[in-house]
Amino acid sequence: MKRRMTRGVVTRGVLLAALALAVALPLLAQAPGPDYGEFNFLGLDRRGAVWIAAQLHLLFAAFVLGVPMFAVVIEAIGMFGGDEKYDKLAKEFTRLLLVAYSATAIWGAILVFFLSTLYPRFWAYLTAIFAPSMWVYAGLFFLESFTLYLYYYGWDAWKKGAAKKVHWCLGIMLNIWGTIVMFIANGWLTYMMSPPEGLTADTAPQTVQLWSAINNATWMPINIHRLLANVVFGGAIVGAYAAYRFLTSRTDEERAHYDWMGYTGNLIAIGALIVLPFAGYWLGREIYEFSQQMGITMMGGFMSWLWIIQAFLIGILFLAGNYYLWIGMGRIPGAERFQPYIKWMLLVLVLGVIVWATPNTMIADRDEIAAMGGIRHPFLQVLGVMSAKNTAVNLMILTTFLSFLMYRRANKDPVVPWARAGTMLQGAAFALCAVVVVFYGVYGYFVTAIVRIGFSVYQVLAVLATILFVIGIDMAMLRGAKSRGEIRWGRMPDRSQYALLILAVTFTWLMGLMGFARSGIRQHWHVYEVIRDTSEQAFTPALGPAATIISICVLIFFGLVGVIFWLGGLAERSVYQEAEAEAKGAEGHAALGEPMPSPALGDVD
């Protein structure tokens, strides 16, 4: 019964999206009269409407693209490692996809509707260039949803032997379709940002080569950056789901499961986050290469404050991530040993965030200098220069790594004879690394700028080398280590789960902010330096108003995600059915307004 309900929502969403596309494409290719349609809803103008629809579509899309990537990996771990619990977890991830998928489709349809009615002329322009790829997009979308059904509903039917492998391949196909779909859509949006050379406002869209339009300067960098960001995002949302289920669960068994799931989601998110900056720098470089003007707008122009906010958000991610790990030590026997260090690590992190978010090198634009009434600030001046920032971020990464290490070590006592020496060696490596980082940080104040840039490379290398070296020792040292007891999954205070929630909200907001950055650097252009935005909303809003819209989007997103989690919970209750039934009886289900599901349903589902 639940299954039918879930599927109903999904089918409706897909149908709706298809309908809208089918109607919109042919209808609008014939450039209707006015350039812009009218829209006003509670003070929201046409740009706001498209903005919110696009952002929500993107958030759901990022989720349905990110989750299959690690669902497949986790399924493989279960399949080859033979541990049932991984398989269960992968399936649970996939269940979240079903409803999220229909939300993606519905928001996509709303977006198409808004675009085609509020920006009819520009929409006609885009369809004239991209129509074939739009059809492929819609087709793949269907293929993808079909694969998803097979993947999810076939889970238990194809559980053994070769059938399991086939099932796993379905998961891989799901990823392939999803990736192509995203790449196609990225082609449209990067075209607006970095159109191929030689286009002018008078170029007839029909004459633009489709492939040159898609394969533009920023297409690949954005593809890669988004691919990674989607994994981070998927991990974070899964973490939030687990946190939600943890907080509302009734049995210890359930709590243990969701504690573990939350931990895994968080690990995925943080792991992918560490690679993201590299992809980001590549994207940034390509933007500069495409247009120095655009690069300057992004990094130094009216947006430079955006990067300070980004630093602030990343600081919160670091703090919340570490905080979660530290609390997590409470459930590991033997972790008490490490408690005294935590306050110092916290101190390092907080100082790091402060230094990092201190504006100075960032104040760049003449307008801002005027807005701040001068560039000199006696205190900010010392902290704000690059040396200090690099030192801060490297120490923060080092500290986070130390948290992970303690976490890993907490319940183990190494048995190798050189354990003591090994630990001291690790400590020495940390100390040496910190000394190197701080040394170059301080020295950086006494050398010219270019030498200083070279220093930041030494700092990063020192941190990477330390991480590799220390992990190497750790793996050798903990081989056959004596356990002080198993991790007591589920024995987690509630506040840890709120940290996971804050992580997820922050990631989501960060994503909205960066989306604003991407779209905002086009300034008053629909297609950068080709098609002008002539509507009243052509100006680019300041960060304050932008942040308000982003917050609205995130709020709607979490509202809907809450419903999805709740549906996911309904469909799945029965996994813990027996235990729960004993603990709470029928009263729990009555509260949900649902008749008691038969115990077997969830497993078949």
Residue type, 87: D
Nearer CB in complex with other proteins: 128/308: 308
Nearer CB in complex with ligand HEC: 200/448: 448
* Tokens linked to 90: 């992968």
Q: Both ends of the chain: CA-CA distance in Å?
A: 10
Dist CA 592 CA 108 (whole Å): 30
∠ Cα 384 387 390 (to 5°): 95
Dist CA 410 CA 487 (whole Å): 9
Nearer CB in complex with ligand HEC: 206/448: 448
Decide if residue 409 touches ligand HEM (CB under 6 A): no
Decide if residue 247 touches other proteins (CB under 8 A): yes
Closest residue to ligand HEM, judged by C-beta, is 280
Q: Which of 162, 201, 449, 591 binds other proteins (CB under 8 A)?
A: 449
Q: State in angstroms the smallest separation of the CB of 28 from other proteins.
A: 26
Query: From residue 46, how far is each of 52, 54, 69, 253, 458 by CA, in Å?
Result: 10, 12, 35, 49, 49
Decide if residue 200 touches ligand HEC (CB under 6 A): no
Query: From residue 243, how far is each of 64, 70, 313, 324, 432 by CA, in Å?
Result: 19, 18, 20, 12, 38
Dist CA 5 CA 99 (whole Å): 10
DSSP sequence for 369-387:
HHHHT-S--TTHHHHHSHH
Decide if residue 262 touches other proteins (CB under 8 A): no
Q: What does 229 interact with, of ligand HEM, other proteins, ligand HEC, none (CB < 5 to 8 A by kind)?
A: ligand HEM
Q: What does 226 interact with, of other proteins, ligand HEC, ligand HEM, none (CB < 5 to 8 A by kind)?
A: ligand HEM
Residues 443-482: x where in contact with ligand HEC by CB under 6 A, - otherwise, as a string: -----xx---------------------------------
Nearer CB in complex with other proteins: 124/313: 313
Strands 482-483 and 412-413: antiparallel
Chain residues 305-344 in contact with other proteins, contact rule CB under 8 A: 305, 308-309, 312-313
- Name the CA radius of gyration of the chain, rounded: 26
Residues 280-319: x where in contact with ligand HEM by CB under 6 A, - otherwise, as a string: xx-xx-----------------------------x-----
H-helix or E-strand spanning residue 453: helix 449-477
Nearest to 388 by CA among 329, 320, 311, 317: 311
Q: Per DSSP, which regions of 174-232 are E strands?
A: none
Nearer CB in complex with ligand HEC: 46/452: 452
Chain residues 52-71 in contact with ligand HEM, contact rule CB under 6 A: 58, 62
Q: Which of 151, 183, 509, 576 binds other proteins (CB under 8 A)?
A: 509
Residue 233: CA atoms inside 13 Å, Cβ hemisphere, count?
22
Nearer CB in complex with other proteins: 392/502: 502
As a dihedral over the C-alpha atoms of residue 89, residue 92, residue 96, residue 101, rounded to 10 degrees, the angle is: 90
DSSP sequence for 405-431:
HHHHHTTEE--STTHHHHHHHHHHHHH
Q: What does 546 interact with, of other proteins, ligand HEM, ligand HEC, none (CB < 5 to 8 A by kind)?
A: other proteins
Q: Which of 51, 114, 168, 302 binds other proteins (CB under 8 A)?
A: 302
Decide if residue 222 touches ligand HEM (CB under 6 A): yes
* Tokens linked to 242: 């687990």
Binding stretches for other proteins (CB under 8 A): 244, 247-248, 292-293, 295-297, 299-302, 305, 308-309, 312-313, 360-361, 363-376, 381, 385-386, 445, 448-450, 452-453, 498, 501-502, 505-506, 509, 520, 523-524, 533, 538-544, 546-548, 550-551, 554-555, 558
Binding stretches for ligand HEM (CB under 6 A): 58, 62, 222, 225-226, 229-230, 273, 276-277, 280-281, 283-284, 314, 510-511, 514-515, 517-518
